Amino acid sequence: MTETFLAFDLTVTCADGSNHSSVELKVVDGTVIYVTPDGKELRGAQAVETIESGNFVTAPNVVAQAIEKYRSQD
């Protein structure tokens, strides 16, 4: 299993209107995921729609590509 962290401590709003904080954005075995502190993956009805704030650990273009891939996965 390969895992690459792209961002942490994200504050996000999901498609269902829920808000989450301390979310991580990472790539696990080629799949882009957002994960809450309790280990829940945000997808489907709770797919991330917007990122209000956070700390990014890679170049903005890499994050943008990951977000585009995430949106096409659901």
pLDDT per position as a tens digit, 11-53: 999 999 999 999 999 999 989 999 999 999 999 999 999 999 9
CB atoms within 10 A of CB 69: 13
39, 13 contact by CB (below 8 A): no
pLDDT at 71: 84
Confidence bin at 70 (pLDDT 50/70/90)? confident
